[in-house]
């Protein structure tokens, strides 16, 4: 195994976590911006509960049914971009990356923080485990930002993206940390997160927005915990709820995944960090923590070099997988303008590199779409792929 410094894990106890999507789906960019298709989807939607959500039928803009690899067949290169929190707070980042995905026929996963659908005036509805009623370590959104978030989520789902959960209050330290929560605590947190998404109309009083066009209780099949903490006690609850994967495990390696407690374990990964002998997690915050340490506003003079370093880190992680064992590449991000927005620029540049049309065997997809593919495969073939170490060249008939 590779020699990985502990510095590569900086940032896991602070801030939030996110995830990204995939290219190479069966629909062209035009398919996800078709007004008549959207009108048809609205017409078919059946309201659920208070009308915050609706059953609009099968999700549009999905890839074809996954095919099984033949023994000895080289796997595609999967790339999954995910976003933790997934709130639109007026900086235009949510629509910016939706457009990037449309332009490349890609799909992503948006891990929504449930409190982003709850007005601060109703914060007493939130009863976080082991924390005061209404407490949250991330801010509540303004009414305008809740509306923007809901509209972007609605459009994202129609465009084929996945909506997962990042839970609610993002507690990462102290006795109330999610790292200390029991399975029962997680069950309460999940139920509240779902209720805030499925009852936003009642809680906000908004009457001028269309419903989210999906049944969230059925849509929700995976998550990422705050600060990558608490997975061990979350998994029993996730399994009970019928979830299919969890993306909360820290410090994973670029190898093919396996299941834990019946769920696919899809961790953020250690990737090369140019200029250093250690590796860094494939997330914007962890790169930041190794550049500007304890501040999100480091010296502006460092921004160009840090931006380039972040870009090259993502690309190096992708190249290592693409050119060797073809392990899926997971990237986590936040809609944040840390250090002048350099990480948003870096991930966009790296995304364009990975999703380049010349790489016909790259699939930029959501986590849900990826586990659909995993579940369709011959377990013996997957077992063979899991034997490939980081950077180990794929060879035919690894099974």
Least confident of 8-17, 134-143, 292-301: 8-17
**pLDDT surpassing 70 at residue 194:** yes
- Say what the pLDDT of residue 22 is: 29
HEC readout, 168-217: CCCCCCCCCCHHHCCHHHHHHHHHHHHHHHHCHHHHHCCCCCCCECCCHH
- Say what the pLDDT of residue 45 is: 87
pLDDT band at residue 396, thresholds of 50, 70 and 90? Answer: confident
C-alpha distances out from residue 188 to 192, 194, 195, 237, Å: 6, 10, 11, 10
- Say what the pLDDT of residue 55 is: 97
pLDDT band at residue 42, thresholds of 50, 70 and 90? Answer: low
What is the distance between the alpha carbons of residues 197 and 392, in angstroms, rounded to a whole number? Answer: 43
- Say what the pLDDT of residue 29 is: 39
Which tens digits make up the pLDDT trace of 89-132? 999 999 999 999 999 999 999 999 999 999 999 999 999 999 99
pLDDT band at residue 233, thresholds of 50, 70 and 90? Answer: very high
Which tens digits make up the pLDDT trace of 101-113? 999 999 999 999 9
**pLDDT surpassing 90 at residue 285:** yes
What is the distance between the alpha carbons of residues 81 and 190, in angstroms, rounded to a whole number? Answer: 23
**pLDDT surpassing 60 at residue 17:** no
Question: In DSSP terms, which residues pair with 81 in a beta bridge?
Answer: 20, 331
Percent of the chain with pLDDT over 70: 88
Query: Where along the chain do its domains lie?
Result: 71-386
- Say what the pLDDT of residue 300 is: 98
What is the distance between the alpha carbons of residues 160 and 155, in angstroms, rounded to a whole number? Answer: 9
What is the distance between the alpha carbons of residues 71 and 384, in angstroms, rounded to a whole number? Answer: 9
**pLDDT surpassing 50 at residue 326:** yes
What is the distance between the alpha carbons of residues 104 and 99, in angstroms, rounded to a whole number? Answer: 9
Percent of the chain with pLDDT over 90: 86
**pLDDT surpassing 60 at residue 163:** yes
What kind of fold does domain 71-386 have according to CATH? TIM Barrel (3.20.20)
pLDDT band at residue 38, thresholds of 50, 70 and 90? Answer: low
Average pLDDT over residues 381-398: 90
Which tens digits make up the pLDDT trace of 205-215? 999 999 999 99
pTM > 0.75: yes
**pLDDT surpassing 50 at residue 204:** yes
In degrees, rounded to 5, the angle at the alpha carbon of residue 177 between the alpha carbons of residues 201 and 115 is 10
- Say what the pLDDT of residue 251 is: 82
Q: Judge contact between 100 and 153, C-beta under 8 A.
A: no
Q: At what angle do helices 93-103 and 342-354 cross, to 10 degrees?
A: 10
**pLDDT surpassing 90 at residue 146:** yes
């Amino acid at each position: 195994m590779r020699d990985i410094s502990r510095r590569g894990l900086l940032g896991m106890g602070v801030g939030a976590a996110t995830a990204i999507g995939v290219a190479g789906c069966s629909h062209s960019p035009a398919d996800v911006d078709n007004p008549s298709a959207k009108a048809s989807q609205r017409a078919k939607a059946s309201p659920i509960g208070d009308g915050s959500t609706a059953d609009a039928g099968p999700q549009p803009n999905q890839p074809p049914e996954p095919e099984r690899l033949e023994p000895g067949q080289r796997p595609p290169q999967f790339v999954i971009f995910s976003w933790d929190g997934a709130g639109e707070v007026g900086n235009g980042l949510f629509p910016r990356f939706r457009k990037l995905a449309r332009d490349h026929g890609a799909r992503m996963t948006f891990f929504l923080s449930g409190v982003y659908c709850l007005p601060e005036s109703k914060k007493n509805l939130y009863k976080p485990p082991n924390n005061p009623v209404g407490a949250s370590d991330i801010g509540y959104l303004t009414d305008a930002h809740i509306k923007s978030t809901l509209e972007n989520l609605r459009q994202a789902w129609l465009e084929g993206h996945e909506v997962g959960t990042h839970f609610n209050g993002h507690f990462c330290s102290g006795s109330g940390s999610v790292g200390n929560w029991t399975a029962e605590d997680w069950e309460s947190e999940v139920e509240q997160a779902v209720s805030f998404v499925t009852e936003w109309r009642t809680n906000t009083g908004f009457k001028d927005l269309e419903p989210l066009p999906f049944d969230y209780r059925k849509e929700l099949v995976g998550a990422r915990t705050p600060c990558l903490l608490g997975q061990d006690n979350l998994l029993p609850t996730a399994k009970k709820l019928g979830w299919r994967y969890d993306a909360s495990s820290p410090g994973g390696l670029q190898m093919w995944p396996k299941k834990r407690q019946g769920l696919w374990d899809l961790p953020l990964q250690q990737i090369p960090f140019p200029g250093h002998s250690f590796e860094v997690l494939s997330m914007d915050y962890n790169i930041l923590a190794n550049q500007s340490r304890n501040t999100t506003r480091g010296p502006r003079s460092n921004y160009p070099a840090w931006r380039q370093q972040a870009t090259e880190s993502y690309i190096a992680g992708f190249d290592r997988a693409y050119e060797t064992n073809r392990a899926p590449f997971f990237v986590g991000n936040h809609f944040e303008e840390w250090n002048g927005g350099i990480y948003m620029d870096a991930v966009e540049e790296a995304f364009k590199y990975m999703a380049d049309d010349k790489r016909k065997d790259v699939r930029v997809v959501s986590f849900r779409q990826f586990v659909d593919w995993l579940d369709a495969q011959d377990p013996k073939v997957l077992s063979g792929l899991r034997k490939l170490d980081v950077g180990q060249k794929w060879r035919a008939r690894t099974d």
